[in-house]
Structure 1
Amino acid sequence: MNPVNNSKSPLLSLPAELRTQILSHVFDENLNHNGLISYDCPGGLYLDDEYTVSTHLQPLLVCRQLYADGHHLAFAKTYFVMTNLFFSVPERSSRFLRKKTIESIRHLTFVADARHFRALEEWGMYPFGMPNLQLETLTIVLYRSTFYHYVFDFTASVVQLLRNLRNVKRIEFVRNAALVKGSLKTWYNRLVGLIMKVDHHERYEVSPPRVEGTWWVWGFDEVEQRFWLEAREAKALVDEETYLQGILPLMEELRVSVEGEEWNPDPRSRRHYY
């Protein structure tokens, strides 16, 4: 990046506050591109193979001053998509990004296979085990190959992660036309069922009660073949009857969803049904 003579640049002659407002409008457009596309055909959303983060950060290359003014803003308004299965978020980010820059990232997507699902158990309370990463959206895209995903093997570990996870407002799981034993919707239903089962157990069947750190609300999109969980504050500890009355609508929604799921005869797909 080369320095620009302020006397020849109307933009750089503006006050910093105005330059920041202009850059905010420029990078707002990035939020319309999340790295996923739909071909209007069976299979739902797909990972966009042509999506690149660098394309959406190009205005920062104009000069050093605009980079200084706008790089935190640009990182907050850009979807970072990692398709390399061997990419280590903690390692690469600490090597190439400053702490304040990492704190600016709000949208992160990564492609996952079984290794990534196993690694979720090691995250602890924060995404990727990084306390300075504060995400509005975390998207997990299933790796598309000729092999099946046995996502039911990870139902229990995902539920335990969700109970304690912080610094993530929304998590999405996207099928990406990958092969899933038992179907993505079946896994979603079992995941939701176990969330409620574990929550009840931790509140009323252990002493002292262990209330979740984060409660989640959820939804499934049949057409796009994805589901999401949005973070909410932990539910208050109330008597069991009041709790069951409050959870009853969620149980009814789950019952209806289960009745509409696809059936797969493979016994491994039912390994963690609850």
Structure 2
Amino acid sequence: MTIARPNAFLLSLPVELRLQILEYVIDGAANAGLKYPTVPATVRPESNRTFQGLILDLGYYASANLNVLLVCRQLRNELTKAAFQRTVFVIRDPYYVNAKYFRNLQRIQLDSLRRVMLVFQAYRLSQLTSWRWPFNLEGLHLDSLTIALQSATQHTVGGVLSEDYLANSTRDVVGLLRRLEHVNRFKIVQNAAFTTQRFQSWYNQVIGLVLKEDHYQRYDAPDAPQIEATWWDWHFDAAEKSFEFIARPAKPVVPEPDYIEMVAPLVARLMSAMEAGSS
């Protein structure tokens, strides 16, 4: 007869090993909460337009990653921090974006949050205009903040699809980028949202306004220089239909000719992207 030994149980393992095992339990993939569809997604039911790129994974729930914390008090105490750090928390709310989502979290849970994805209508991006920190919670430090634009079938204004909402949101996004702190990566995913212009065209508009606004605030504004809180490196991913900003320290104040020389490669890259998009 085989007798189970106490040291064969999970709780008898060193805590370091339990933390390693946790990595196999929790979905810590870079795009957790999103997926590539096996077949192109339909943009609008009444049209023949399809979409190929990342879309929201409707089968993903953060709670599935956190079930391990319900096993016993010991695992909850040991693994809460690591579990919250690795889990993407998806907030699906088409109307409001504020700190209410976190009011029931314990302090250790809130302090451990690192990855949040918002799913809501793009024309409500203005709700983020006042942010200095994510959700204006100074204690919240995120490795990634992702916005997945709500799909076209849910995006309506008075019952009519708003097809110019991206262009109307450009200034709001740029204003947010100039102020936002405590976010290492900021990403916007098209998620099969219907637009009259290609998603990359809007990305080019955002980058163009980032450069234009930064120059104005440094040299031409009445209270210049006004330096951005965060400088960003940016990248468009054509396969994902997403673009991402990676946080960097604010640029120093330099004479205007030196600044123009510094950003010249960024302007040239933008012009090349715009020319390629129009061809």
Letter in 2 for 1:67: R
Measured on the aligned residues, the alpha-carbon RMSD in Å equals 2.3
Verify: 1:121 aligned to 2:134, yes or no.
no
Verify: 1:100 aligned to 2:108, yes or no.
yes
- Residue 228 of structure 1: aligned partner: 244
Cα distance change, pair 73–261 in 1 and its aligned pair in 2 (3 A): same
Query: Counterparts of 1:164 and 1:148 in 2: how far apart (Å)?
Result: 27
Q: CA deviation at 1:246?
A: 1.1
SS in 2 for 1:227: strand
- Residue 35 of structure 2: aligned partner: 37
Query: Counterparts of 1:262 and 1:36 in 2: how far apart (Å)?
Result: 29
Q: Among all aligned residue pairs of Structure 1 and Structure 2, give the percentage whose two residues are the same amino acid.
A: 37
SS in 2 for 1:56: helix
- Residue 54 of structure 1: aligned partner: 63
Query: Counterparts of 1:200 and 1:86 in 2: how far apart (Å)?
Result: 34
Q: Deviations over 1:91-114 (max 9, x none)?
A: 1311x2012211211111111214
TM-score (norm 1): 0.85
Indicate conservation of the 8 Å contact 1:43/1:176, yes or no: no
SS in 1 for 2:188: strand
Letter in 1 for 2:121: D
Q: Deviations over 1:50-83 (max 9, x none)?
A: 1111112222221111011101110100111122
Q: CA deviation at 1:182?
A: 2.1
Query: Counterparts of 2:59 and 2:218 in 1: how far apart (Å)?
Result: 47
Letter in 2 for 1:13: S
Query: Counterparts of 1:85 and 1:262 in 2: how far apart (Å)?
Result: 32
Query: Counterparts of 1:81 and 1:201 in 2: how far apart (Å)?
Result: 36
Q: 5+ unaligned residues in a row in structure 1: which ranges?
A: 1-6, 264-274
Task: Give the number of equivalent residue pairs.
Answer: 255
Q: Deviations over 1:216-274 (max 9, x none)?
A: 111111222111111100011111111111111100110011112269xxxxxxxxxxx
Bigger Cα displacement from structure 2, 144-153 vs 12-21: 12-21
Query: Counterparts of 2:200 and 2:141 in 1: how far apart (Å)?
Result: 28
Verify: 1:70 aligned to 2:79, yes or no.
yes
Q: CA deviation at 1:15?
A: 4.7
Q: CA deviation at 1:133?
A: 1.4
Indicate conservation of the 8 Å contact 1:203/1:211, yes or no: yes
Query: Counterparts of 1:93 and 1:26 in 2: how far apart (Å)?
Result: 26
Indicate conservation of the 8 Å contact 2:97/2:135, yes or no: no
Query: Counterparts of 1:176 and 1:114 in 2: how far apart (Å)?
Result: 11
- Residue 79 of structure 1: aligned partner: 88
Cα distance change, pair 199–86 in 1 and its aligned pair in 2 (3 A): closer
Query: Counterparts of 1:31 and 1:71 in 2: how far apart (Å)?
Result: 18
Q: Deviations over 1:26-54 (max 9, x none)?
A: 45643355111112544311111111111
